[in-house]
Structure 1
């Protein structure tokens, strides 16, 4: 399996731990065995396997802390003009292609779970004729604030079209912040953001968009954030922390592009035909995910929303990280939807 190589930088503006942060890391890792022992017997893990219970307990412990940014440098295969890169999973293919935007709060690089998911998508696409799968490596916040990522997603879509892909053969997909990026790109196509290059002209609507736990608002006012705070892998405070990082310095007149729930999607049916919207019953983002589904439906798009029982934020990615990706109900939904949309 191929993977993205990464490194951290100790140069000014890069990643450097203070003495207090070193102590915080030490205390965190010393606490992990206790967190795992407590977590595997927790009420919220009663329906999960041992492996998922351990994985989720570690995740809850790690994301209960606030982290400084880590600058990650990956080495791409197709360099884009906007400082980003496209990583193909297997051979390039433009007659059918899934353009994937990874999650991580715009602050973290792709995880092993993301790469496992993409390889599974590539392999399982053979059942419906096969498809190209390509991952966008975008620049990370806070070193590269909004609209950097939207600029790079726009360049990625333009690149595929220039290479011969037809809009009707392209599906955008992404989890969490990656789902945000797909929705930001739709907003840009409908009404171009003046501070970045214009969107490509579409001769037809894109085939579809598969959104996995899309991060549609950077606030935490929706009831599901409080209701699921102890059940989700990410705490309410951590959602707010990541949201504050993204919104820092964003002008008010650009919020409609930065935050999907603030965007006007009128006319979206001319941009994309089908949307799959996946969320977990136990994630903080559940209400906003349902809200964006209603907004897209009102714009005339065929939207299918799937809520996984007991699922947390990015449950599909977590399953792949724990080595149980193919057992994920949400992944089966995704595979079935892709087959239906491409047939």
Structure 2
């Protein structure tokens, strides 16, 4: 049932003490952006000016900001979804569905479509969806229909979460529910991702017509959802599929929180998301962990090949994509190879690396207004494969 959406009470509220340094940060950012724009014609960068300015915004705001400051800057997922849908010229219906426990599904396309993509957005377990997510998803829908005659709808998950005070001992007793900014004590994320899929199945959608797709930590969620469907995480409800999902795709999934691999050493300091922000966010996430007996869900890159035995029963086709020049790429390759060895030839498994691309380039292209690159076009072909 569609219900009126309102952002959670307290979302984006910060004190004057928190606002002042954030304002100074934006002032410094403004001066830097002016300098970059003026000097751009004389630079040797491979990026467009829009990409240069967008990357600078991310690198200036994300590492030093607290969760509350990031909330202030970034609207809640449901707010941004409604704004995007109402900006479209054809005025499609705005459908925000409360499925219980504070979890929402936001629909792009009619719920009457038989084919559904269950989408899990990235953001480091800290940020909500950004406008680039909705531009990207809408492009996939429109282009898949135009090029391949495939009509599907998208259900975007928005999480109910907790803000953890990680400034001292990070005691979970200090957590207070504040709303939908995907940062919560592990394994809340897994429980809620599983609940979203369970809702779609309860609504009568055929698993063979459902794809599960996510970017960055949303890609992580895609992979731990597959693991849950095979093994059943003890904290989440068991999901028994009558048939495998049509497919699963993880774009630049964050599958391990270490940074010791060769790709991290080669690309970590030049990647779009600064290491300082990633280390801080993963540190918060690790400290929030309420159980430690589920490491292969928590960091799927650590799982051995045998962990993925039985994958053929839950998904027919798995695509893992990343930037060939991103820090996470080695962990993506390691996980795909383990899945391939464990699942055997009964599942179509593919890894796709976008040449010269950094982390989550498919999203970045839409977030900064650049043209879609090869990962986005590979997604269109993948949708044709799994839905045709």
TM-score by length of 2: 0.79
User: Which one of the candidate residues 165, 172, 179 is aligned to 2:212?
Assistant: 172
| 2:224 is aligned with 1:184 | yes
Aligned to 1:157: 197
Deviation at 1:57, TM superposition (A): 2.2
Q: Is the 8 A contact 2:67 2:126 kept in 1?
A: no
Deviation at 1:287, TM superposition (A): 1.3
Q: Is the 8 A contact 2:109 2:152 kept in 1?
A: no
Q: Which moved more, 1:167-176 or 1:296-305?
A: 296-305
Q: Is the 8 A contact 1:106 1:177 kept in 2?
A: yes
Question: SS of the counterpart of 2:379?
Answer: helix
Aligned to 1:50: 49
Question: SS of the counterpart of 1:65?
Answer: coil
Q: How does 1:32-43 map to 2 (within 5 A)?
A: 32-36=29-33, 37-38=35-36, 41=40
| 2:283 is aligned with 1:248 | no
Post-superposition Cα deviations, 1:269-292, rounded to whole Å, max 9, x if no partner, equal: 221111111111222211111111
User: Which one of the candidate residues 103, 116, 126 is aligned to 1:97?
Assistant: 116
Q: Which moved more, 1:127-136 or 1:70-79?
A: 70-79
Q: Is the 8 A contact 2:319 2:351 kept in 1?
A: yes
CA distance in 1, matches of 2:152, 2:158: 19
Question: SS of the counterpart of 2:102?
Answer: coil
Deviation at 1:334, TM superposition (A): 0.8
CA distance in 2, matches of 1:131, 1:336: 14
CA distance in 2, matches of 1:45, 1:59: 20
CA distance in 2, matches of 1:241, 1:299: 33
| 2:76 is aligned with 1:67 | no
User: Which one of the candidate residues 15, 22, 26 is aligned to 1:25?
Assistant: 22
Aligned to 1:236: 275
Deviation at 1:55, TM superposition (A): 1.4
Deviation at 1:238, TM superposition (A): 1.8
CA distance in 2, matches of 1:320, 1:330: 12
Question: SS of the counterpart of 1:92?
Answer: coil
Deviation at 1:89, TM superposition (A): 0.2
Question: Could you say if the C-alpha distance between residues 45 and 265 of structure 1 is closer, same or farther in structure 2, counting changes exceeding 3 Å?
Answer: farther
Aligned to 2:10: 9
CA distance in 2, matches of 1:73, 1:307: 28
Structure 1, unpaired ranges of 5+: none
Aligned residue pair count: 334
Deviation at 1:253, TM superposition (A): 0.7
CA distance in 2, matches of 1:299, 1:44: 47
Q: How does 1:301-340 map to 2 (within 5 A)?
A: 301-324=347-370, 326-340=371-385
Question: SS of the counterpart of 2:316?
Answer: strand
Post-superposition Cα deviations, 1:169-218, rounded to whole Å, max 9, x if no partner, equal: 111000011111111111111111222222x2111111111111101012
CA distance in 2, matches of 1:77, 1:167: 22
Deviation at 1:98, TM superposition (A): 0.6
Rg larger in structure: 2
Post-superposition Cα deviations, 1:137-181, rounded to whole Å, max 9, x if no partner, equal: 112454532222211111111111122211111110000111111
User: Which one of the candidate residues 87, 94, 97 is aligned to 2:106?
Assistant: 87
4+ runs of 1 displaced by more than 6 Å? 42-45
Structure 2, unpaired ranges of 5+: 80-94, 165-183
| 2:283 is aligned with 1:283 | no
Q: Which moved more, 1:135-144 or 1:305-314?
A: 135-144
Post-superposition Cα deviations, 1:218-245, rounded to whole Å, max 9, x if no partner, equal: 2222232232133211122222111111
Post-superposition Cα deviations, 1:12-47, rounded to whole Å, max 9, x if no partner, equal: xx843462x434323321221443334875999722
Question: Could you say if the C-alpha distance between residues 245 and 44 of structure 1 is closer, same or farther in structure 2, counting changes exceeding 3 Å?
Answer: farther
